[in-house]
Amino acid sequence: MAIVRRRYRLVRLATTLVLAQACMAALTGLPYARRGDGTVPGVLALVLMLLVLVVLLRTGTPAARNTVLLVETVAFLIGAGIFVSGGRWVGGTTFAGVVAGVLLHPAVAAAFGVSRPVSADRRRLGWPIGDRRAVPPRPGRYDRGDGRHGPSRD
């Protein structure tokens, strides 16, 4: 029961962060938007997209997490590019980086059902993939074919 509650809290944390990002985009974007140059529809489209991401993120599926992570990474890269090219405001870029960092955290990724990748060394050495406590065979020993390591005593 505690694991389900913890999973729900981490999914809710990520959802709340994206919802806060949508609110901040609306609160900072709309007052500074000029009506004549089309920034108001752009800000409204951004807020609508973030609200769709909130609904998607509430499902708690790995596909939802990966989609939101992709969108936040692209937003961060676009914002960083604008900042480097002479832009002044980086608030949305910072928020996108925070949301992406939260989604990349191992506990949050596990709450969304994303398993940790198995290293190539673990696969190559033949370690059991699911067992993190598995110990590799000691150097200088070989498999006798019966599951035990070392020279046969026959």
- Give residue 114's pLDDT: 80
- Give residue 23's pLDDT: 92
**Whether the Cβ atoms of residue 11 and residue 57 lie closer than 8 Å to each other:** yes
- When pLDDT is cut at 50, 70 and 90, the band that residue 121 belongs to is low
Kindly state the DSSP code that residue 115 receives in the 8-state scheme.
P
The pTM of the whole model exceeds 0.85: no
What is the percentage of the chain residues whose pLDDT exceeds 90? 31
**Whether the Cβ atoms of residue 73 and residue 80 lie closer than 8 Å to each other:** no
Weakest-pLDDT range from 7-21, 89-103, 117-131: 117-131
Model pLDDT for residues 68-105, shown as the tens digit of each residue? 999 999 999 988 888 888 877 677 888 899 999 999 98
Q: Rg for the chain (alpha carbons), in Å?
A: 24
Weakest-pLDDT range from 60-64, 110-114, 139-143: 139-143
Mean pLDDT of 1-9: 70
- When pLDDT is cut at 50, 70 and 90, the band that residue 21 belongs to is very high
Q: Give the torsion sign (CA, 95, 98, 102, 104).
A: positive
Q: Provide the 10 A C-beta neighbour count for residue 54.
A: 19
Model pLDDT for residues 31-73, shown as the tens digit of each residue? 877 776 778 888 899 899 999 999 999 998 999 999 999 999 9
Q: Provide the 10 A C-beta neighbour count for residue 28.
A: 14
Q: How far is CA 146 from CA 51, 84, 151, in A?
A: 58, 62, 11
Q: Give the torsion sign (CA, 22, 98, 101, 6).
A: negative
